[in-house]
Amino acid sequence: MDTSNLLMAFGLTLIAGLCTGIGSLLAFFAKKTNTRFLSVALGFSAGVMIYVSMIEIFVKAKDSLVEALGKTGGSWATVAAFFGGIFLIALIDRLVPSGENPHEMRKVEDMGKSQPEAGNGRLMRMGLFTAMAIAIHNFPEGLATFTSAMKDPSLGIAIAAAIAIHNIPEGIAVSIPIYYATGDKKKAFKLSFLSGLSEPVGAIIGYLILATFFNDVVFGVLFASVAGIMVFISLDELLPTAREYGEAHLSIYGLIAGMMVMAVSLLLF
């Protein structure tokens, strides 16, 4: 593997993951959530992810698997891996309680609302559940960014940007429950910021596991699974959250803009 590509892939994954810290800062220092901006931004992120997954990543995965397994076997393997990625991320979402799920929508204004009294034990459990939820959700995203950047640096940059945008409101969603679990804004920011490290950790673990036997079949299955994961994240998390944050049309405008930008960038680069 190309060392320069490897370093860039890790760097992109790290930057995308740590963008949760931007969301944390918004949660603590902004007076009001800019819901219209977040709605467009999340729609844009979803548009980038959906377009690149279906037009670029799925096709590259299929080409790789067809070359290794033949047309029939490769086509079936691509479809199986794509839906396997969807089922994997759907299972992860089902296992994480909605109250601690970092993709549940929250606003900066929620910081000012009084919370029901709870014992220290319950608050601690809430903080632990939240931290676990962040790591679980970000892990496959890190692997997706890293894998894409390793195969095609320009593709990796686009996906990293989309995931970075998606991580900003996630940082807001993460900071608020941790703040109420600990009563400490600095600690909430630190944990939220560091939670983004689960994305490069996902990339590192994926690389260490796959590096020794990385071939066309492994790449094709992994890439098709990544496409499924990103499509599910877009449809299940980004678009619904975008519609809740602002006007429904804004999220769709952002979605179309994201697709257009991704389409043009693929043609140019």
Annotated binding residues, written as ranges, equal: 138, 141, 166-167, 170, 199
Binding residues for Zn(2+): 141, 166, 170
Binding residues for Fe(2+): 138, 141, 167, 170, 199
Q: Is 183 left (phi over 0), alpha (psi -120 to 50) or beta?
A: left
In three-state form (DSSP H/G/I as H, E/B as E, the rest C), the secondary structure along the chain is CCHHHHHHHHHHHHHHHHCHHHHHHHHHHCCCCCHHHHHHHHHHHHHHHHHHHHHHHHHHHHHHHHHHHCHHHHHHHHHHHHHHHHHHHHHHHHHCCHHHCCCCCCCHHHHHCCCCCCCHHHHHHHHHHHHHHHHHHHHHHHHHHHHHHHHCHHHHHHHHHHHHHHHHHHHHHHHHHHHHHHCCHHHHHHHHHHHCCHHHHHHHHHHHHHHHHCCHHHHHHHHHHHHHHHHHHHHHHHHHHHHHHCCHHHHHHHHHHHHHHHHHHHHHC
CA distance 191 to 177: 11
